[in-house]
Amino acid sequence: MPVVWRHLGEEESEGDLSFDRLNPCGVHSPNNYYYVWEVQRRRT
């Protein structure tokens, strides 16, 4: 499973990506996924 959250804050503050978590805390399937993200490139 790819790890996103290590660089999430860096990408949001210094990069051109924004992350919105779609599933609430505690709603996940540990064998399949933990967090579901919508990722968008910011317009400049």
Mean pLDDT of the chain: 77
Q: Terminal CA-to-CA distance of the chain, rounded, Å?
A: 31
Residue 10 is predicted with a pLDDT of 76
pLDDT of residue 27: 83
Contacts (Cβ under 8 Å, ≥6 apart) of 17: 11, 39, 40, 41, 42
Q: Is 35:20 a contact under the CB 8 Å cutoff?
A: no
Q: Taking CA 9 as the corner, what is the angle to CA 26 and CA 4, rounded to the nearest 5 degrees? A: 55
Return the pLDDT at 4.
64
pLDDT given at position 44: 64
The pLDDT score that the predictor gives to residue 5 is 66
Residue 13 to residue 7: CA distance in whole angstroms: 10
pTM of the model: 0.55
